[in-house]
Amino acid sequence: MQNDFTEGGALGVAGGAAVAEGISRLLAEQPERYEHVFASRDWHDASNDNGGHFAVDDAPDYVTTWPPHCIAGTFGAEYHSALNTDAVDVHVRKGQGRPAYSIFEGTTTDDTTVAHALDALGVTDIDIAGIATDYCVRASGLDALQTGRRVRVLTDLVAGVSADSSAAALVELEASGAQITESSAQPTESREDTE
């Protein structure tokens, strides 16, 4: 939920600001719903191509290479203003010199891996919301499933780059074991939120 991934940003997706507002509304209206809230951000280096993630010599292909975005310490890397981070317990930075899509590729502010942080907190159930459905949401969901966690993707609180690839990502996530649902559906057990 960063400025560069919402409307007007370097890689803005349609509906990004609405997703930030929706996540904030959910957390404000149901503060008891989640024991822990994780929020992740790309936090790319300004001085290099971040392991080939940034297109430097050629035009970006928008599949594996991208225009520079979410440079550490810039406005584009900051959380969107519609996302109220008061409920966020754990902030995660990913990228930092290399390509990274999944929150599990990042580290917390105390340099702990996300898997270790989740394990330390006893998190077994995760709700996923954020941007982009077809990249970071997909990768984070698949990695969460790989670590043995139960995953729900909140479809009213995600936005993607492309309608087709976003739909394909949701199909893949569901086939891999994730529950595809909306935020209005109450979890059957306590769940955690990863943005």
Q: Tens digits of per-residue pLDDT, 69-88?
A: 999 999 999 999 999 999 99
Q: Tens digits of per-residue pLDDT, 30-59?
A: 999 999 999 999 999 999 999 999 998 899
Contact in structure between 16 and 88 (CB atoms under 8 Å)? no
More confident residue, 189 or 184: 184
Note the Cα 94 to chain centre separation in Å.
10
Please tell me the distance from the alpha carbon of residue 180 to that of residue 182, in angstroms, as a whole number.
Answer: 7
* CATH number, domain 3-194: 3.40.50.850
Please tell me the distance from the alpha carbon of residue 38 to that of residue 36, in angstroms, as a whole number.
Answer: 7
Q: What is the pTM of this model?
A: 0.92
